[in-house]
Amino acid sequence: MSNLIDSSATRITPRRREAAALPDMDSSNSASTLVIAGRIPTVAPQDYVLEARQIAKVYRKGRHEVPVLSDCDFQAQRGQVTAILGQSGSGKSTLLHLLGTLDTPDEGEIYFEGKRIDNLARRKRDRFRNCQLGMIFQFYHLLPEITTLQNVLMPIMIQQGLFSYWRHRVAHRMRAQELLERVGLGHRLTHRPRELSGGEMQRAAIARALIGQPQLLLADEPTGNLDRETGQHILKLLLELNRERGLTIVLVTHDESIADDCDRVIRLEDGRIVA
């Protein structure tokens, strides 16, 4: 049977309740999440930026098979922050990698803005990732030998090619600098990653993810390697970017407290989406 993410099973978080001006049904503990028994209004299909239908993924190692996802349906609504919660090993990264076309599912289909993306040819897939998608990871994945500013510019260089990049380099640099200032790193433009703190590296990675002006940001445990306070600052920054730019964010995490600040929360258990 399909693990449809039924809206009746979706937790309504304090942030979403605030946005929808829903009454506080649990005033004794307003910080806690709320389970609404009834359905929230159905979202028109065109409002799904990202949709996965019936995905399955099995890793194969020699004769061994590791089933990770099965019958997995997922939707990300435009302009919302969706958290995918699950314990270590539950398949969160696998799902995010499939959504970001870093890997392909064994079964099922994935759609971005109504267009299928899981079966794109390599060039189209690379272009999709470069133009429509921003990704951030637990360990930042910055290039160690180049500066913060150059790391942020790298996706533009790849997207445009060196010649076109060079012609517009002043504008690109200004944009990268503006983004770095927005994420609070305007004073670290020429630092290399090893000269930055964990929180600063994640800020640089966020700026790099946004340089191509994506509609969608996929975040894999973005606070997983940070202390609690720094993690809170990063989450706050992501929520601000969501509100300022209408950026759709899908964030996987095992941290229950993060989920309360998101619009929508779904859970993965043993590779299956559960209520």
In 75-197, alpha helices (H): 92-99, 122-132, 148-167, 169-182
Closest to 81 measured CA to CA, from 273, 255, 240: 240
Cα within 13 Å of Cα(8), Cβ side: 4
> Which residues of the shown chain bind Mg ion in the complex (CB under 5 A)?
92-93
Handedness of CA 10, 11, 16, 22 (dihedral sign): positive
Residue 13: name its binding partner from Mg ion, ligand ADP, none (Cβ under 5 to 8 Å by kind): none
Q: Which is nearer to ligand ADP, 68 or 249 (CB)?
A: 68
Residue closest to Mg ion (Cβ): 93
Calpha distance 142→202 (Å, rounded): 9
Residue 253: name its binding partner from Mg ion, ligand ADP, none (Cβ under 5 to 8 Å by kind): none
Residue 61: name its binding partner from ligand ADP, Mg ion, none (Cβ under 5 to 8 Å by kind): ligand ADP
Draw the binding track, 79-118, toward ligand ADP (x: CB under 6 A; -: no contact): -------x-xxxxxxx------------------------
- Minimum separation from the CB atom of position 275 to Mg ion (A): 22
Select from 45, 59, 116, 195 the one that contacts ligand ADP (CB under 6 A): 59
Residue 64: name its binding partner from Mg ion, ligand ADP, none (Cβ under 5 to 8 Å by kind): none
Which helix H or strand E contains 245, and what residues bound it? Answer: helix 228-245
Instruction: Name the segment binding ligand ADP (CB under 6 A); options: 38-46, 58-66, 155-163, 176-184.
Output: 58-66
Which helix H or strand E contains 81, and what residues bound it? Answer: strand 81-85
Count of chain residues binding ligand ADP (CB under 6 A): 12
Decide: residue 123, CB within 10 A, 0-12 exposed, 13-18 middle, 19+ buried.
exposed
Residues that bind ligand ADP (CB under 6 A): 59, 61, 66, 68, 86, 88-94
